[in-house]
Amino acid sequence: MKNYELLEHTADIKIRVTAGDLKDLFKNSAAAIFDIIAERKHIEPAPQKKVSLKQSADTLDELFINWLNELLSLYAVKELVFFDFKIKKLDKHNLQAEAVGENIKYYRINTEIKAATYHDLKLSRTKSGWEAEVILDV
């Protein structure tokens, strides 16, 4: 089950992500991006690589965008498609996490995403948890 939906946008990709809590919002948003970027093309098992991440920011919005853009940067530099995310620590200013990925050669790339943007960014509490709307620069 997907925890995100594509929203209409003229030039880029806009998504709405939902989650029961803030940690899951960060995880689901990252998973949504890599679901959009690529799909697994090989059935055989692939070696997995774990990457540790630490982020600090002045605001929750900044922390959220930094998280997504750091993952996109690691995807490009290390040629890893991430599929599992563990948030070890998260507050409004700090994030410690681990992402698990596989080599890009095991995937078919559908869309290249350059960055998550601040334009029209919305992070909000809802009755059922959290929701984010973010535009992805393609």
Domains of the chain: 4-137 (3.55.10.10)
Strands (E), the chain: 4-7, 13-19, 38-40, 48-56, 80-90, 94-103, 107-109, 115-116, 122-126, 129-137
Q: What pLDDT does 83 receive? A: 96
Segment 4-40, tens digit of pLDDT: 998 987 789 999 999 999 999 999 999 999 999 999 9
Global pTM value: 0.95
| 3-state class (DSSP) for residue 120 | coil
Question: Helix, strand, coil shares of the chain as percentages rounded to 5?
Answer: 30, 45, 25
Q: What pLDDT does 2 receive? A: 79
Q: What pLDDT does 39 receive? A: 95
